[in-house]
Each structure stands twice: as structure tokens, then as C-alpha cells.
Amino acid sequence: MISANERNMDISTSLLILKQYPLFEKLSQVEYKELSVSDNFKEAKPGEFIYFEAFHHNQIYFLKTGNIRLGYLDDAGERITKDILGPGDFFGQITLERTNLNGEFAQAFKGPVSLCSFTIDHFNRLLDNRPDIAIKYSKLIGLRMKRFENRLINILHKDVKSRLIAFLHQLLQDAIKPRIINEFQVYIPNYLTHEEIAHLIGTSRQTVTTLFNELEEAGICIYSRKEIKFNDLKKFGER
């Protein structure tokens, strides 16, 4: 049986981890306990579903490590990727409503993940008492919605090559641990297949493969299963 001292130590350690992220940097231990976060830590293996075809769901999830694939099933039963999330991202009922997921699934992607969760009710109480956290949260959600909006605008108004370039720019901007070779060369970790990129930019796998071949022949960008290598950022920036 876990003693009170051991439990308090676990809470302190978990809180310190959570406070590394800007949204929770000023969260107190009392507020942490009121969120009941310590009861909702989860480790998931690669490919494990956090939830599948969710409709009525009252949890918000905060991703500490690893990547999460968000998607849905199309009419043919195929899993379609709609976003890939990384450490610090939120998912679940991010709009604080219980019925907005519309059959969404969330899956540990390419590796194990570590996350925590809290209910909408607990989180709403925190936001009511902490307007500073509420403002930060609104900004984060706004940025998420803006990313979706930009992707939709790109699909509607840009050709496929421009959409791929814009997507690669976003990957480069979001990369947590890029490998900087020099001022022109940067390599970033890759966790996406051609098919998954195709889903995210609204085209076919074959088209993505063709476009990557063109970028490689031009000496601009090389795709591999482990890395995406930007060999000439000057030329890439002109695209």
C-alpha cells in the first residue's frame, strides 16, 4: 500500500513534469490535486488506441511524450489521418463540449506515449478560477484551429506541390530536435509515410512520392523513413 508521503512525492514529481509546459507553469499543487491528474496518467504502447470512434467523451488529454495520430474511419472503413500531435499538445474534447468528436480516434503513433487527462468539469473549474490559464488555453486552441484552417485553405486554393511545400515548412518549424548541419542544411526526425502525408494535404500517395522525387533531384529535400533532410534551405525557402 502506498503511504501518504509516497503519494505526495509522486504528486510533486508529476506536477514538476507538467509545469515544464507553459500552460501549467504556474499551477499549484492544490489545483493539480483538484484536476485529479495523478489518477489519470497513462502509458500507451505503439499502435494502442487512447479512444476509438469517440462520440460522447468528457476527457481532455495532455501529451507529455511521444506522438498521437488523430483520425477517423471513412465510408470504406479505412483509417484516415487528420493530424499528428507531439509533446505539449492537447486532444480529446478540446472545445470543452461532450459531443464534438464525431467518431474521432486517437492512437499512439510510431512509438510509446505518455499522457495525462482530466475531465471537462474539472478543467472548467480550473479555468473559472484561473483566467490567466484560460487565456493561454484559448490562444493554444486558436493556434490549433488556425493550423486546420490554413491546411483547408491550402487544399482549396493551392496546387499539390505548393501544399506539400507548405506542409514541410510546418514540419520544419515544429521540429523539436532538428539536426543542424550548417546554415543551409537541417535534418528533422520523420514519422510519416507518404500515404499519411497524402491524407494530411489532400492528395494521393503516388503524387507525394513523385513530388519528393522531384525535390530530391533538385537537391532541395530528401525524404527517408527516419529523417527528412533539407539540403538547401535557401532554395527551399524560395519555393
Rounded distance between C-alpha atoms, residue 31 and residue 29, angstroms: 5
Per-residue pLDDT of the chain (239 residues; tens, 9 = 90+): 334 443 443 556 777 877 888 888 888 888 988 888 766 788 999 999 999 887 768 889 989 889 999 998 888 888 888 888 988 888 999 888 877 677 889 999 988 999 988 899 999 999 999 999 999 999 988 988 888 888 888 888 899 999 999 999 888 888 777 887 887 889 998 888 999 899 899 899 999 999 999 999 998 899 998 899 998 888 777 66
* 26 & 135 share domain: yes
How would you class 121 by CB atoms within 10 Å of its CB: exposed for 0-12, middle for 13-18, buried for 19 or more?
exposed
pLDDT for 76: 83
Which of 130, 153, 176 is where one domain is finished? Answer: 153
Give the per-residue pLDDT at 151: 82
Domain that holds residue 9: 4-153
Query: So what's the pLDDT on residue 105?
Result: 92
Domain stops at, among 94, 123, 153: 153
Tally of CA atoms within 13 A in the half-sphere of 16 that contains its CB? 6
d(C-alpha 85, C-alpha 70), whole Å: 8
84 and 26, same structural domain?
Answer: yes
Which of 129, 153, 177 is the last residue before a domain boundary?
153
Asked if 111 and 148 sit in the same domain, the reply is: yes
Model pTM score: 0.76
CA atoms within 13 A on the CB side of 68: 28
Question: Do 142 and 207 lie in a common domain?
Answer: no
| Residues 210 and 172 occupy one common structural domain | yes
Please report which helix (H) or strand (E) contains residue 211, including its range: helix 205-217
Sign of CA dihedral 168, 173, 178, 181: positive
**In a shared domain, residues 26 and 109:** yes
Cell of 80: 484516415
Please indicate, yes or no, whether residues 49 and 127 belong to a single structural domain of this protein.
yes
